[in-house]
Chains A and B, each alone.
Chain A
Amino acid sequence: MKVLVAVKRVIDYNVKIRVKADNTGVETANVKMSMNPFDEIAVEEAIRMKEKGAATEVIAFSAGPAQCQETIRTALAMGADRGVLVQTDAELQPLAVAKLLKAVVDKEQPGLVIVGKQAIDDDSNQTGQMLAALLGWSVGTFANKLNVADGSVEVKREVDGGLENIKIKMPAVITTDLRLNEPRYASLPNIMKAKKKPIETLAPDALGVDVAPRLKTLKVEEPPKRKAGIKVKTVAELVEKLRNEAGVI
């Protein structure tokens, strides 16, 4: 069984995000970029499946500018076998990525697609679900634990208030939650080996996908600065402030 994992190139989680002066988005020039942490978890899970013999090949997919190659290389250095880059400088929204993923799924015929539940830049939490809908496949979102057995996957899901166990038929789409695993380091020998692993580059046109954005961003602004706290003297005063100033009760 092949496993396809999606890896998105995002601003590194350590970087302090700055809004562009013209309010059209966030500053990405001269900023350190890394693999979306949820996608690292997806890669780790796929590699573990391969190590256990449940998967035969792990393919890392990314869509975006040429530099996404570096993100794919990270996946290869962790242990993925090869990469597919759909190269475009266009703005990519979740639906476009889901369509690109579907085109690659049609080509590669994986038994499982594992993606992060969301990316830490736009926090959409949509791509996996949209992909499953486009493919007509089962989907297990927010995976906390996976077990692949006889053509189906047992998924322990993180839901509000606890965990839920479901069993879904394969082929299927899985989205990862934080506690699914702890991703490994890309070890030095594997970093060196990753140089030689193949990355296929495709164009959205060649896959017959129109990636034109469907959503329009009106304005991006800094969140309001947090104000200094105050000390209240009595419980009554606290309740009064929560009700009349904060408006939370």
Chain B
Amino acid sequence: MSLAEQALPSGRPPSPFYTEEHEAFRSTVRRFVEREIMPHVDQWDEAEEFPRELFRKASAAGLMQLGFPEAYGGVPTDPFFGIVKAEEMARHGSGGLNASLNSHTIGSPPIAALGPEWMKRKVLPEVLAGEKISALAITEPSGGSDVANLRTTARREGDHYVVNGSKMFITSGMRADYYTVAVRTGGPGAGGVSLLLIERDREGFARSKLKKMGWWASDTAQLFFDNVRVPVENLIGEENRGFIGIMLNFNSERLGMSAGACGYAKVCLDEAIAYARERHTFGKPLIANQVVRHRLVDMAMRINAVKSTLELLAYRVGQGEKPVAEICMLKNLATSTMEFCANEAMQIFGGAGYLRGAKVERIYRETKVMSIGGGSTEIMKDLAARQMGL
């Protein structure tokens, strides 16, 4: 049973963190997923694309606006709305769809936090309305972990920057209209990095699609910048001060990825329970075997641990704290739990899990991107160790 199903007489789950509004939003997201996504998601995943129209529909239901300022079309919310959304959006089991539909949640916060007024007024309302797509481009072919040493350059020429280089693994990279791009404007290291808004139609900017193990529904791309001229006013925040913006962004991305990982783990558990009840071997249901029940309990135990940690950290973030080390550890806990649960669920499904179309099969293929993207397991441990003064 999900928390929502163990509701109190008021219909509210037994938690200090969720209010009536969170539960109302949960109903909205659940319906949206059931109506707009579930019937098509397998087909979209195989086609490696979903209709652009979905961005608009998601905005109409209020799924795009979470946490952005009201003045630019957003709806300021506490982090628990994000958790509710991630949990409910996990139910369709396509991480690629979620990553791409939500690429603005990593692409646009730097604009909202640091961007000049004209940019906020122009870009944010379009993106939050689902009219335009926003992407974040940090990682490069030469490496994603070592962000401070990125090589894409932006050389100042009068009132323009001239951008040269390449970005790798960019979510929504093929279709995005606005790219928040990390570039080197200064000397080596973190102190020479800036963030630039680059529009898709700038001359010399090209994209190519990448074939992947999972996240098929997302149009992940490599980006190429060949002498792309970008006006100086497209600078997001101050010159050579982009690194801090990138780091702040990572905190919320990692919290969001943790919520997502927890949601996918829960789908694996729910699917495995349903299958184990239905599937009979040796004259009885799978779930009648102690070894199967123990697997299910081990999954639930880990999910509970992730959920508890996630909610406590979300509470602290909502109070204005920046618990960097804890968020790093949470991301590792959540993504390893997702890997564990996907693996266990696949085993319970037997041959049926190996076939395409089962949610657990897709989630299994989408575990690695969660423990590599947004800061890999090792990088999370390194960062946590530094924060802990080790």
Contacts and interface: CB of A to CB of B under 8 A. Distances in A.
Interface in A7-28: 15, 28
Contacts of B31: 185
Given A70-B20, A73-B24, A77-B24, A188 B7 contact: no
A109 B8 CA distance: 36
B5 interface: yes
Interface in B61-103: 61-63, 65-66, 75, 77, 81
B297 interface: no
A93 interface: no
A67 B20 CA distance: 11
A53 B244 CA distance: 51
B7 A32 contact: yes
A55 B4 CA distance: 36
Interface in B5-46: 5-11, 20-21, 24-25, 27-28, 31-32
Interface in A192-232: 192, 194-195
Contacts of A74: 24, 27
Contacts of A70: 10-11, 20, 24
B68 to A, nearest CB: 11
A186 B6 contact: no
Q: Which of B6, B21, B63 has the largest count of A CB atoms less than 10 A from its CB?
A: B21
Interface residues of A, number: 23
Contacts of A56: none
Contacts, number: 66
A30 interface: yes
B24 A186 contact: yes
B30 to A, nearest CB: 9
B60 interface: yes
Contact of B65 (A30, A32, A77, A188): A188
A29 interface: yes
A139 B9 CA distance: 35
Contact of A185 (B7, B21, B61, B66): B61
A159 interface: no
Contacts of A28: 9
Nearest to A188: B62
Contacts of A143: none
A31 interface: yes
A34 B4 CA distance: 12
A187 B7 contact: no
B65 A67 contact: no
Contact of A67 (B11, B24, B25, B62): B11
A189 interface: yes
Contacts of B24: 70, 73-74, 77, 186, 191, 194
Interface of B: 4-11, 20-21, 24-25, 27-28, 31-32, 60-63, 65-66, 75, 77, 81
Given A30-B9, A67-B10, A70-B20, 9 more contacts: A30-B6, A34-B27, A70-B24, A185-B32, A188-B75, A188-B77, A189-B62, A191-B62, A192-B21
Interface of A: 15, 28-34, 67, 70, 73-74, 77, 185-192, 194-195
